[in-house]
């Protein structure tokens, strides 16, 4: 098929697909734009290991040398990690351009969902999803992740979203677009560094089997679109809410002064918070991603137990 000529599926991932084994898709913007080198490389490797230890196969996704790569080698992960922000942050809009120009494209939640769905991988783990930015009523800056969640059948395990965003508007947007947000053992939407945001969810799940059943029902009914599985950061790694909020306020005003806009906002804010907390936020970030990878693996395993999966 023509489509196949664009894809480069690693032998490990292809084997898992052939054997109908559980796979967890992993994004790469978090590697290039979400963390500094070398922690980004170490984390990406630890996340893959966490998925394997749990009994599933990791599939880290990026566009390299005009191929959509599903399952990266350690060398490829290191290349992406070292290139860092000189990789192109790649969302739905950017995929064809990066295929054309041959640059390294690191995939956001939206682009990773698209590619995971192409490869028939229904479960994906990340840190935090994009959302409605603060002030979006003026700027219209709403992450393409949210649109993607409304149309692509992939379950996204995340620690909620960062409060650099307007989390209340983010939940409203998801509701309008029919995207379920399942609190994993919580009734509150988690705020990335913090397990709580003060925003209540209507749906709580308590086990990987329950999530798998939810997915079977949704997709069995042909209710297209993704599902957010909001998995709070473990309490021992949680950050001080007031402190983070102060850094966010200062970061947002510095961002405005420097005229940073559009797709550069999220990477700028991640870097700003990390510098202000002197790496404390990075530690929390690494732990919550690992926590999400383990849960995603358990969900992928539970989902495979169903005959129709
Ligand atoms: N939020 C984080 N870490 C990240 C991202 C978001 O806490 O690394 C990345 C993800 O790849 C997400 C993207 O899909 O940023 C959203 O960017 P934007 O707001 O430009 O859509
Ligand atoms: Mn944006």
Active site residue 210: no
pTM of the full predicted structure? 0.97
| Binding-site residues, ligand 1, Cβ < 6 A | 27, 29-30, 33-34, 91, 108-109, 127-128, 130, 143-145, 162, 192, 263, 266, 270
Over residues 150-157, mean pLDDT? 98
From atom 20 of ligand 1, which residue's Cα is the shortest distance away?
A: 263
Q: How far is the CA of 110 from the centre of ligand 1 (A)?
A: 9
Catalytic annotation present for 222: no
Domain chopping of the chain, boundaries: 3-236+288-303
| Distances 292 to 70, 94, 252, 297 between C-alpha atoms, Å | 19, 26, 27, 9
Contact partners, residue 114, CB within 8 Å, separation at least 6 = 92, 95, 148, 152
> Tens digit of pLDDT for each residue in 54-96?
999 999 999 999 999 999 999 999 999 999 999 999 999 999 9
The alpha carbon of 124 and the centre of ligand 2 are apart by a number of angstroms equal to: 21
pLDDT mean over 13-21: 98
Closest C-alpha to ligand 1, atom 7: 128
Catalytic residue among 27, 148, 188, 238: 27
pLDDT in tens, 266-285: 999 999 999 999 988 999 99
- Residue whose CA lies nearest to ligand 1 atom number 17: 130
* Residues 190 and 262: beta-carbon distance below 8 Å: no
Give the position of tokens 């969302």.
91
User: Active-site residue among 89, 103, 162, 218?
Assistant: 162
Whether 308 shows a pLDDT value over 70: the answer reads no
pLDDT in tens, 240-265: 878 888 999 999 999 999 999 999 99
- Select 3-236+288-303's CATH number: 3.30.43.10, 3.30.530.20, 3.40.1790.10, 1.10.357.10: 3.40.1790.10
Radius of gyration for the chain, computed over Cα atoms and rounded to the nearest angstrom: 18
Looking at the predicted structure, is the pLDDT value of residue 309 above 90?
no
Distance CA 20, CA 95 (A): 27
């Amino acid at each position: 098929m023509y489509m196949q000529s664009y894809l480069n599926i690693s032998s490990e991932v292809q084997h898992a697909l052939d054997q109908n084994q559980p796979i967890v898709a992993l994004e790469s913007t978090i590697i290039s734009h979400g963390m500094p080198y070398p922690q980004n490389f170490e984390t990406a490797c630890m996340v893959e290991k966490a998925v394997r230890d749990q009994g599933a196969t990791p599939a880290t996704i990026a566009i390299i040398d005009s191929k959509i790569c599903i399952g990266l080698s350690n060398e490829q992960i290191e290349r992406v990690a070292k290139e860092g922000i000189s990789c192109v942050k790649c969302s739905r809009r950017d995929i064809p351009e990066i295929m054309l120009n041959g640059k390294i494209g690191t995939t956001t939640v939206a682009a990773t969902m698209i590619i995971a769905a192409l490869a028939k991988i229904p479960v994906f783990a990340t840190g935090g999803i994009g959302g409605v930015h603060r002030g979006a009523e003026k700027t219209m800056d709403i992450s393409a992740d949210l649109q993607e969640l409304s149309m692509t059948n992939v379950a996204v395990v995340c620690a909620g979203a960062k409060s650099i965003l307007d989390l209340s508007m983010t939940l409203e947007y998801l509701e309008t677009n029919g995207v379920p947000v399942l609190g994993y053992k919580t009734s509150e939407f988690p705020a990335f560094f913090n397990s709580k945001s003060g925003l209540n969810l209507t749906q709580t799940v308590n086990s990987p089997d329950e999530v798998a059943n939810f997915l079977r029902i949704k997709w069995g009914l042909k209710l297209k679109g993704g599902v957010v599985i909001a998995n709070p950061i473990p309490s021992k790694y949680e950050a001080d809410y007031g402190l983070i909020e102060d850094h966010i306020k200062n970061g947002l005003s510095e961002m405005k002064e420097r005229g940073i806009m559009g797709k550069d906002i999220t990477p700028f804010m991640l870097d700003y918070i990390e510098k202000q907390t002197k790496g404390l936020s990075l530690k929390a970030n690494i732990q919550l991603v690992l926590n999400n990878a383990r849960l995603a693996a358990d969900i992928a395993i539970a989902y495979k137990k169903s005959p129709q999966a």
